[in-house]
């Protein structure tokens, strides 16, 4: 099977190729030689931009982080100004992601499953998940939750579970069920505070 090399700078071509291959096939299953061949760069060019495969994987995860965080923030903003509604609104991003063609789960959960704790790749996955948790905690605090840490942990677990479920069963009702569960969690957490 032959593929056409992506356009752009050598670094962009390498990253575009790696993103497509890592997400479709998994990080361990994709070797540097395949990325070099499909991106149309020389081996020396590859290593000039990415001295190790871990450097490339972290750059791939940076792109996943940027895209997924933007989707989450857009979904929250679309839900309106109320922080509780914004928390539930996050599940709009889940719905869009899980129902997209070629969906294979959360890139961070996939990377974490393939990496060892303490490695740059695992550390990058933890950093992303921590940032999302902290943002949701801020929303929970603004919503008046009695236990913003607990609500944030529950919501992010529900998001991660929804991302995994979307990959496993591709049930189009799963994001709706996750949003309903999130609404119940938000209501319970903020009603107790009132």
In angstroms, the CA 5 to CA 191 distance is 55
- Based on the domain organization, do 37 and 73 belong to the same domain? no
Domain identity same for 135 and 160: yes
Whether 71 is covered by a domain: the verdict is: yes
Task: For 136-152, write each residue's pLDDT tens digit.
Answer: 999 999 999 999 999 99
Same domain, yes or no, for 23 and 40? yes
pLDDT at residue 15 above 90? yes
Band of residue 10 on the pLDDT scale cut at 50, 70, 90: very high
Domain limits for position 108: 58-191
Band (36; pLDDT cuts 50, 70, 90): very high
Asked if the structure places residue 2 within a domain, the reply is: no
**155 contacts 121 by C-beta, under 8 angstroms:** no
106 and 91 within one domain:
yes
Q: Do 87 and 167 share a domain, yes or no?
A: yes
Looking at the structure, do residues 24 and 94 belong to the same domain, yes or no? no
Instruction: Indicate whether 44 and 69 sit together in one domain.
Output: no
Residues 38 and 130 in one domain: no
DSSP the chain: ---PPPPS-HHHHHHHHHHHHHHHH-TTT--HHHHHHHHT--HHHHHHH-SSHHHHHHHHHHHHHHHHHHHHHHHHHHT-S-HHHHHHHHHHHHHHHHTSTT--S-HHHHHHHTS-TTSHHHHHHHHHHHHHHHHHHHHHHHTT-SSHHHHHHHHHHHHHHHHHHHHHT--TTHHHHHHHHHHHHHHHHHHTT-
Residue 134 has pLDDT above 90, yes or no: yes
pTM over cut 0.85: yes
Is residue 1 included in any domain, yes or no?
no
Q: Among 66, 84, 83, 179, which residue's Cα sits nearest to residue 132?
A: 66
Residue 119 lies in a domain: yes
Residues 14 and 92 in one domain: no
Clarify whether residues 173 and 96 are in a common domain.
yes
Same domain for 42 and 124?
no
Quick check: 75 and 91 in contact, CB under 8 A?
yes
Q: Which of 30-34, 92-96, 97-101, 120-124 has the lowest mean pLDDT?
A: 97-101
Q: Which of 34, 161, 53, 57 is nearest to 111 (CA)?
A: 57
Q: What's the CATH code of the domain at 27? A: 1.10.10.60
Model confidence at 38: pLDDT above 70: yes
Looking at per-residue confidence, does 63 or 8 come out higher? 63
For the chain, the domain total comes to 2
Q: Are residues 129 and 36 in the same domain?
A: no
CATH of residue 115: 1.10.357.10
């Amino acid at each position: 099977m032959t593929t056409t090399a992506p356009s752009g700078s050598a670094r962009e071509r390498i990253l575009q190729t790696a993103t497509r291959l890592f997400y479709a096939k998994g990080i361990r299953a994709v070797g540097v030689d395949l990325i070099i061949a499909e991106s149309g760069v020389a081996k020396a060019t590859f290593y000039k931009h990415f001295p190790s495969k871990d450097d490339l994987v972290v750059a791939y995860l940076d792109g996943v982080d940027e895209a997924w965080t933007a989707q989450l923030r857009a979904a929250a903003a679309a839900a309106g100004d109320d922080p509780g509604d914004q928390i539930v609104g996050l599940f709009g991003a889940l719905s869009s992601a899980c129902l997209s063609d070629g969906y294979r789960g959360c890139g961070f959960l996939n990377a974490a499953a393939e990496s060892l704790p303490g490695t740059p790749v695992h550390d990058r996955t933890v950093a992303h998940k921590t940032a999302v948790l902290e943002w949701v905690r801020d929303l929970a605090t603004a919503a008046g939750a009695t236990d913003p840490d607990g609500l944030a942990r529950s919501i992010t677990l529900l998001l991660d579970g929804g991302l995994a479920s979307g990959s496993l069963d591709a049930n189009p009702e799963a994001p709706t069920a996750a949003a309903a569960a999130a609404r119940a969690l938000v209501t319970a957490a903020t009603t107790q505070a009132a």
